[in-house]
Amino acid sequence: FKLSPYVGVGYRYKSDDGSDLVSEQNGKLYKRLSQYWYVPLGSRLTYDFTDLWFVKAIAEYDWFVSGRQFSYLTDGTYPSPIVNKQKSGWGAKGELLIGHHFNKVSVAFGPYMNYWKIAKSKDVMRSIIVAGYPRPFTEPFREPRNITKEIGVKLNFYF
């Protein structure tokens, strides 16, 4: 039985390029880049049932420190990129793997989950460009709340 707590510094980079897509609700989409800094707080638990069989569990909470959202608009109405600061959110990761030790390698298989919930960004006021000249723009530009869910099955090899 081994229990290994850990803490660290994490960086998440996410790119969504919708610049060549059109939405029925929002019109032409755009390219977004997300950069998040966070502190992972977690623990790994490994338990050997026998000399050959084991179970491994990982649970992690990701404390969001700060983030920036870069929006690259392609319609020419706003100076690009628009940079929004994001200051709150959190993430979680977990997995439960059952494995087998072979001569020189171990193999583990099981479900995993990654989750992120990021609050809406701070508002950014921008000028709109009309006929090549900036005009006052009173509507704020913000990134909405973002929830990312990733669920799957993992196959790990240990050498």
- Tokens for 2, please give them: 């081994």
Q: List CB contacts of 25: < 8 A, sequence separation 6 or more.
A: none
Which has the minimum average pLDDT: 7-11, 33-37, 133-137?
Answer: 133-137
pTM of the complete model:
0.77
Is the CB of residue 93 less than 8 Å from the CB of residue 58? Answer: yes
| Mean pLDDT, all residues of the chain | 85
At residue 53 the predicted structure's pLDDT band, cuts being 50, 70 and 90, is very high
